[in-house]
Amino acid sequence: MFKKILIANRGEIAVRIARACREMGIVPVAVFSDADRASLHVRMAGQAYPIGAAPSRESYLRIDKLMDVARRAGCDALHPGYGFLAENPDLARACAENGIAFIGPSPDAMERLGSKTAARQLAARAGVPMVPGVADPIEKLQDAERIAQGLGYPVLLKAVAGGGGKGMRLVAAAQQMPAAWRDAVSEALNAFGDGRVYLERYLDRPRHIEIQILGDRHGHIVYLGERECSVQRRHQKVIEESPSPVMKPELRRAMGEAAVQLAREAGYTNAGTVEFLVDDARNFYFLEVNTRLQVEHPVTEMVTGLDLVKLQIRVAAGKALPFAQGDVVLSGHAIECRLYAEDPANNFFPSPGTILSRRVPGGPGIRLDEGVYEGFTVSTEYDPLLGKLIAWGSTRDEAITRLERAVAEYSITGIKTNAALFLEILRDPQFIRGEIYTRWLDERLPLLLANGKKTGASDVSAEDAAILTALFHQLGLNRAAHANGAHRESESRWKREARLEQVDRG
C-alpha cells in the first residue's frame, strides 16, 4: 500500500481524501496556494507545502509544481479530487513519468471518455442510447443555427471540455442563438481554456440520473447504484440523492450494465460516473462520463456502506475489488445538499468573507463534509462550496425529514449561505413526491424564495425574537462601551443584565 499520497486539491474534497488516508495509515500531503495557508485541508494534512499564488493557474493547476512537491515529500501516489486537474490526462501522464501512482483512470481511458464528443462516439459503438444531437464540436455560429434548425428547438449548447454547467446554454428559439453562442464560447474558454461547443436536442422534463462505477486493474467493473441529481440551479447540481425516487430494479440493472459496458469499452479503471438523462417513460439517454470522484459521492457511500475514496486508493495500488456486483446491497436512502457561500436573495451572488460563528448539526444519520471552520475566510479565488450536508434514513421520507432537521440546526454568521433555501425545497410537496426534473428548481425558485419570506402567525414571533435580540445585543454593547473599553464576556442571562442595570441606576 502507498505510504504518502499527494492531494492535488483544496477545500472539502481535500479534507475528505485526507480523512481516508488517515484511516488507512497513509500520510496525507497537502498543497496550498498563498490564499490557503490556513485552510482546513492544510490543517488536516500530515505534511503541507506551498505551491504558488492564489489564482489557480499559478498554483493548483501547475503540474510542474505538484510533481516538485511529490518528489520532495516522497509521495508514492497522487489523488486529484474533482475539478482543477482531475480530468486532465497530462497530470496522469506526468505522474506516470515520475513513478507516482495516479488515483484515477489511465490517461488514455480519460481521453476516451473525458471529451464529450469522444465519449459519445464510444457510447454509440457500445450501443448506449443517446439524446439526438451532434457529437462533434461546431465550428461557427452559422453551423450551430443550421444544426439546431434540423434538430428542432429547444436545443442545448454544451462545452466540449465542460462540466458543472459551465459553457452550457439552453436555446429556446432561433433568435436567442447568437447571444447564447457568444456566452457559451466565452464561458467555456474562460473556464477550461477550450472554447469548443456542441449541440443536442433538449428533452422536456428529463431527470438527471447517474451511475457510479468502480473498476480495478484485474478486469472487474461494478456499478454502485445510481444518484438522482435533478435538483439543479442553472445546470449546477444542488441536491443529490440515492436511490432515485423513480428507480426500479430492472431500470437500475439496465443503466448499470450500460455504464459498465461503456467503461469496459474504454478500458476504464478506478471510480467514475456515467451520467444519463431519463424521461417520463423511463427511457435513459447517455449524457457524459466524469472520469473522477464526484462531489456527490457521499450519498452512494451512505447507501452502500462503501468508502469510495479508500476503494479508489486500493485499486490504484493494484488491489482487486474486494466484492462482486452481487455483493452490492443498497440500504435505505441518502440525500445531500451543497452548502454554498452565496446569497439566494441577491441572485445567488457569491458571499465571501470571514466566518464569525458557526453551529453545525449532529445526531443520528447526519454526515457533514466541510472545508471551512469558525474564523476561516472564504476567499473570492475559488468555488464558494462550503461543504455538503448529507442525511441517511431508512426511507426517503426519513432522509428528507432528517436533512430538514439538520439544515435547521446549521447556522453560520459573517457570510451568507443558501442553507435556508434547502428548508423550502425539503418542505416542497413536489420535491417530497419526487416530481423533479433538471429545470424544476429554476422554475420553482420564485415560489420557494417567496415562501421563505411569507408572513404567518409563527413569523410574528420570529420578528419579535429578532426585535428583542437586537435590543438586547445593542444595549449589551452600549454597556460594554460604557465600561471604558474593557472586554466583557457575553452575559449569560437577561436577568443578570437587569441586575447590572439596576446597580448602574442605584
Partner 1 sequence: MTYEILINGTKRSVAWDSASMAASIDGRKIHADVAATSSGAYSVLLDGRVFEVTVEKDGDGWLLRTEGREFHVRIADPRSLRRGRDGSVEMEGRQQIIAPMPGKIVRLLAAPGQKVELGQGLLVIEAMKMQNEIRSPKSGTVERVAREGQTVTAGEILAVVV
**Residue positions annotated with a catalytic role:** 292
Question: Which of 1, 3, 23, 150: binder of a second copy (CB under 8 A)?
Answer: 23
Among a second copy, partner 1, none, residue 283 binds (CB under 5-8 Å by kind): none
Binding mask 26-45 for partner 1 (x = CB under 8 A): ----x------xx---xxxx
* Piece of 251-259, 299-307, 412-420, 436-444 that binds a second copy (CB under 8 A): 299-307
Give the DSSP H/E element, type plus range, for residue 221.
strand 221-233
Distance between CA atoms of 144 and 424, rounded to whole angstroms?
39
Residues 364-403 touching a second copy, rule: CB under 8 A, are: 364-370, 373-375, 377, 394, 398, 401-402
CB atoms closer than 10 angstroms to residue 289: 32
C-alpha cell at 345: 436573495
Tell me which amino acid residue 122 is: L
DSSP symbol at 361:
-
Among a second copy, partner 1, none, residue 405 binds (CB under 5-8 Å by kind): a second copy
Question: Which of 492, 502, 504, 506: binder of a second copy (CB under 8 A)?
Answer: 492
C-alpha cell at 357: 460563528
Give how far Cα 67 sits from Cα of 37, 53, 96, 106, 491, Å: 19, 17, 11, 17, 53
> Is 78 within 8 Å of 29 (Cβ atoms)?
no
Q: Using only C-alpha atoms, what is the Rg of the chain?
A: 25
Binding mask 41-70 for a second copy (x = CB under 8 A): ---x--------------------------
Q: Least distance to a second copy from the beta carbon of 9, Å?
A: 15
Contact between 319 and a second copy by CB under 8 A: the answer reads: no
Residues 1-20 touching a second copy, rule: CB under 8 A, are: 15-16, 19-20
Among a second copy, partner 1, none, residue 349 binds (CB under 5-8 Å by kind): partner 1
Q: Which one, 218 or 473, has the nearer CB to partner 1?
A: 473
Contact between 427 and a second copy by CB under 8 A: the answer reads: no
Among partner 1, a second copy, none, residue 24 binds (CB under 5-8 Å by kind): a second copy
Compute the C-alpha angle 18/409/415, nearest 5°.
70
Give the DSSP H/E element, type plus range, for residue 500.
helix 494-505
Distance between CA atoms of 199 and 130, rounded to whole angstroms?
13
**Contacts for 186 with CB less than 8 Å, ≥ 6 apart:** 195
Name the one residue in this structure whose C-alpha cell is 443578570: 496
Q: Which one, 90 or 459, has the nearer CB to partner 1?
A: 459
Residues 277-336 touching partner 1, rule: CB under 8 A, are: none
**Contacts for 59 with CB less than 8 Å, ≥ 6 apart:** 31, 32, 33, 34, 51, 52, 53, 65
Among a second copy, partner 1, none, residue 472 binds (CB under 5-8 Å by kind): partner 1
Q: Least distance to partner 1 from the beta carbon of 228, Å?
A: 25
Compute the C-alpha angle 215/219/224, nearest 5°.
30
Distance between CA atoms of 205 and 223, rounded to whole angstroms?
26
Q: Least distance to partner 1 from the beta carbon of 431, Å?
A: 16
Query: What is residue 179's three-state secondary structure?
Result: helix
Contact between 305 and a second copy by CB under 8 A: the answer reads: yes
Contact between 48 and partner 1 by CB under 8 A: the answer reads: yes
C-alpha cell at 304: 452502500
Residues 404-423 touching a second copy, rule: CB under 8 A, are: 404-405, 408-409
Q: Indicate the burial class of 102 (C-beta count within 10 angstroms; 0-12, 13-18, 19 or more).
A: buried
> Is 431 within 8 Å of 231 (Cβ atoms)?
yes
* Piece of 1-9, 21-29, 276-284, 439-447 that binds a second copy (CB under 8 A): 21-29
Among a second copy, partner 1, none, residue 365 binds (CB under 5-8 Å by kind): a second copy
Residues 452-491 touching partner 1, rule: CB under 8 A, are: 452-453, 458-459, 461-474, 476, 490-491
Contact between 456 and a second copy by CB under 8 A: the answer reads: no
**Contacts for 412 with CB less than 8 Å, ≥ 6 apart:** 355, 357, 358, 359, 386, 419
Distance between CA atoms of 340 and 350, rounded to whole angstroms?
8
Residues 349-368 touching partner 1, rule: CB under 8 A, are: 349-352, 356-357, 359
Among partner 1, a second copy, none, residue 362 binds (CB under 5-8 Å by kind): a second copy
Q: Which one, 222 or 306, has the nearer CB to a second copy?
A: 306
> Is 136 within 8 Å of 143 (Cβ atoms)?
no
Q: Which one, 288 or 370, has the nearer CB to a second copy?
A: 370
Chain contacts with a second copy (rule: CB under 8 A): 15-16, 19-20, 22-25, 37-38, 44, 298, 301, 305-307, 331-332, 359-360, 362-370, 373-375, 377, 394, 398, 401-402, 404-405, 408-409, 485, 487, 490, 492-493
